[in-house]
């Protein structure tokens, strides 16, 4: 079982763990590569930074190096500096000519270790010319859905499946919600077309039930596979959220899944250190980042939790990271190579899901902190960053599409529709630019989709490296009714 470890104690614990693997203590006996980018068999993109983990690389690089397969034979990967090579970890940049196959580490003593990797081309995403199209409507409970896209390498390409859990339906206005326990699976075909949303078996029989065993809305969802984690299987995780009474929860639920269904009953595993709903969740390097959100009383939090998906599918401890510079809920976040950025949202109590009223004030600000690509932990305190948004905004979907991040929908300060439905910011290895817009060649609202507040969003890739995205559900700010629509590009 995992544990909850404050970082003020976590540093000592990690030092103790490191001591267990020091040259004077027990150490793994067989030199090898264990993981690349925190995964058993990762999907990488040309030009990205990644970390190779293992044992026996040597304390210094010397004449050693890292090569990726290439059409012409092998491509040498850049090791940025001497600090990027150690006996157990190597940081490299994936070469521009790399292709899928076996990455190889050659040590200074001539030993050679390999591991399988899938490499995609780096395809620029044009935030100005992409186009929204209607996708298959979501069946029900579209407010506060936990949505995740899972990529599965298949032949020379990628197969994608969408998983959705929970959500809520408003009753008697937007301030009252009934949380749901339903779980849906949808297949994705070429060009981002979404198939029918298949509801998983929902019964009072605990053994046969494939829905959530409890009601949840405004939770986070992620999928762990051998392609993005250390877990040699496939599991769906539903993290936090509100229960049927509207109170934030610390629960983490997980079930085994396939590309067609969930195949086991959900079980409770290691809970978050504190209850949270409406948080931002990001997966990077086999780790889960849960940022901000609201607590049991609906008050926005400044908490940041990091957990790693373990070998058994459990969480190898939730670590309490340094808090945000200020409380933040129903906003967005991106995890970069050596930096993490949170932006937008609200800092004061509001109706469940953030509400549709003029108050609370929406945030225009950002918070930023340095991050270690090696450990996955923050390496410094959070500080207030620049105002990245053109106006205060909350309850939007955040879609990271390569070198661009999109904000879709939401509500702007004063409880009004935002001037631009979709805005975009450039993303560098360690930087997030200012959001500007409108982005895209058309709008969801212009096609009858409503002024959507609080949609769920997900992004995936094709085998050629091109991106697709989707936003699902939410409330229409104008009619104040729920929206069952799904829109993608």
Q: Which residue has the tokens 């990762």?
A: 42
pLDDT of residue 166 exceeding 50, the answer is yes
pLDDT at 176: 72
pLDDT of residue 16 exceeding 80, the answer is no
pLDDT at 399: 98
Quick: pLDDT tens for 358-384: 999 999 999 999 999 999 999 999 999
pLDDT of residue 28 exceeding 90, the answer is no
Domains, in order of start, for the chain: 30-120 (2.60.40.10), 133-488 (2.120.10.80)
pLDDT of residue 8 exceeding 80, the answer is no
**Encoded tokens for 455:** 């949609």
**What are the CA-CA distances from residue 436 to residues 20, 173, 317, 424 (Å)?**
50, 32, 38, 6
Mean pLDDT confidence for 385-392: 96
Quick: pLDDT tens for 97-120: 999 999 999 999 999 999 999 999
Mean pLDDT confidence for 457-479: 95
Least confident of 158-172, 199-213, 232-246: 158-172
Q: Which residue has the tokens 């250190």?
A: 273
Quick: pLDDT tens for 52-105: 999 999 999 999 999 999 999 999 999 999 999 999 999 999 999 999 999 999
Q: What does the alpha-carbon distance between residue 386 and residue 364 come to, in Å, rounded to a whole number?
A: 9
Q: What is the dihedral of CA 18, 20, 21, 25, to 10 degrees?
A: 140
Helix (H, G, I), strand (E, B) or coil at 191: helix
Mean pLDDT confidence for 409-415: 97
pLDDT of residue 20 exceeding 50, the answer is no
Closest CA to 219 of 190, 266, 179: 179
pLDDT at 1: 45
Contact 94, 57 (CB under 8 A): no
CA-CA-CA-CA torsion sign (342, 343, 348, 352): negative
Compute how many other C-beta atoms are within 10 angstroms of the C-beta atom of residue 222: 23
Q: What does the alpha-carbon distance between residue 409 and residue 453 come to, in Å, rounded to a whole number?
A: 6
3-state secondary structure 237-300: EEECCECCCCCECCCEEEEEECCCCECCCCEEECCCCCCCECCEEEEECCEEEEECCECCCCCE
Q: Measured between alpha carbons, how far apart are the two ends of the chain, in Å?
A: 40
pLDDT of residue 7 exceeding 70, the answer is no
Closest CA to 293 of 306, 302, 283: 302
β-pairing, 112-120 vs 456-461, is: unpaired
Quick: pLDDT tens for 242-291: 999 999 999 999 999 998 899 999 999 999 999 999 999 999 999 999 99
Q: What does the alpha-carbon distance between residue 147 and residue 164 come to, in Å, rounded to a whole number?
A: 4
Q: What does the alpha-carbon distance between residue 424 and residue 408 come to, in Å, rounded to a whole number?
A: 9
CA atoms in the 13 A half-sphere facing the CB of 377: 16
Compute how many other C-beta atoms are within 10 angstroms of the C-beta atom of residue 434: 14
pLDDT at 175: 57
What is the enclosing helix (H) or strand (E) of 411?
strand 411-412
Quote the percentage of the chain above a pLDDT of 90.
87
Quick: pLDDT tens for 90-100: 999 999 999 99
Compute the mean pLDDT over every residue in the chain, rounded to the nearest whole number. Answer: 92
**Encoded tokens for 454:** 């609080």
Q: What does the alpha-carbon distance between residue 479 and residue 401 come to, in Å, rounded to a whole number?
A: 30
Q: What pLDDT band is residue 26 in, cutting at 50, 70 and 90?
A: very low
**Encoded tokens for 403:** 């070198």
pLDDT at 5: 54
């Amino acid at each position: 079982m995992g544990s909850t470890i404050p970082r003020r104690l976590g540093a000592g614990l990690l030092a103790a763990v490191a001591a267990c693997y020091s040259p004077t203590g027990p150490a793994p006996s067989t030199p090898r590569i264990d993981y690349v980018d925190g995964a058993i068999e990762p999907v990488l993109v040309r030009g990205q930074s990644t970390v190779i983990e293992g044992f026996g690389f040597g304390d210094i690089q010397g004449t050693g190096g890292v090569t990726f397969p290439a059409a012409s034979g092998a491509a040498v990967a850049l090791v940025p500096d001497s600090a990027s090579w150690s006996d157990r970890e190597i940081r490299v940049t994936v070469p521009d000519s790399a292709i899928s196959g076996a990455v190889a580490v050659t040590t200074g003593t001539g030993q050679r270790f390999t591991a399988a990797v899938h490499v995609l081309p780096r395809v620029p995403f044009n935030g100005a010319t992409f186009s929204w199209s209607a996708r298959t409507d979501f069946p029900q409970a579209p407010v506060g859905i936990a949505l995740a896209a899972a990529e599965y390498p298949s032949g020379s390409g990628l197969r994608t499946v969408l998983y959705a859990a929970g959500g809520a339906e408003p009753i008697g206005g937007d301030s009252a919600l009934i949380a749901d326990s339903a779980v849906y699976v949808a297949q994705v075909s070429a060009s981002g077309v979404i198939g029918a949303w298949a509801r998983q078996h929902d019964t009072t029989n605990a053994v046969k039930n494939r829905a959530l065993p409890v009601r949840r809305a405004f939770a986070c969802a992620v999928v762990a596979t051998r392609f993005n984690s250390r877990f040699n299987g496939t599991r769906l995780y539903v993290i936090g959220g509100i229960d049927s009474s509207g109170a934030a929860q610390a629960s983490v639920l997980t079930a085994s899944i396939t590309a067609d269904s969930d195949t086991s009953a959900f079980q409770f595993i290691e809970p978050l250190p504190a209850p949270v709903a409406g948080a931002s969740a990001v997966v990077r390097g086999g780790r889960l980042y849960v940022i901000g959100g609201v607590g049991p009383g609906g008050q926005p939090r400044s908490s940041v939790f990091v957990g790693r998906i373990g070998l058994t599918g459990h969480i190898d401890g939730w670590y309490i990271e340094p808090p945000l510079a200020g409380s933040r809920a129903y906003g967005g976040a991106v995890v970069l190579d050596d930096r993490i950025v949170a932006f937008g949202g609200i800092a004061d109590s509001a109706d469940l899901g953030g509400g549709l009223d003029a108050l609370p004030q929406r945030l225009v600000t950002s918070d930023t902190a340095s991050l270690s690509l090696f450990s996955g932990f923050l390496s410094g305190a959070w500080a207030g960053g620049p105002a990245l948004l053109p106006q205060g905004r909350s309850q939007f979907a955040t879609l990271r599409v390569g070198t661009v991040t999109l904000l879709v929908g939401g509500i702007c300060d004063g409880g009004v529709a935002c001037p631009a439905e979709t805005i975009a910011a450039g993303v560098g290895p360690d930087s997030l630019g200012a959001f500007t817009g409108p982005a895209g060649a058309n709008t969801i609202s212009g096609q009858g989709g409503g002024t959507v507040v609080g949609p769920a969003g997900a992004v995936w890739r094709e085998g050629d490296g091109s991106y697709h995205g989707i936003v699902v559900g939410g409330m229409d700010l104008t009619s104040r009714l729920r929206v069952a629509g799904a829109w993608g590009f």
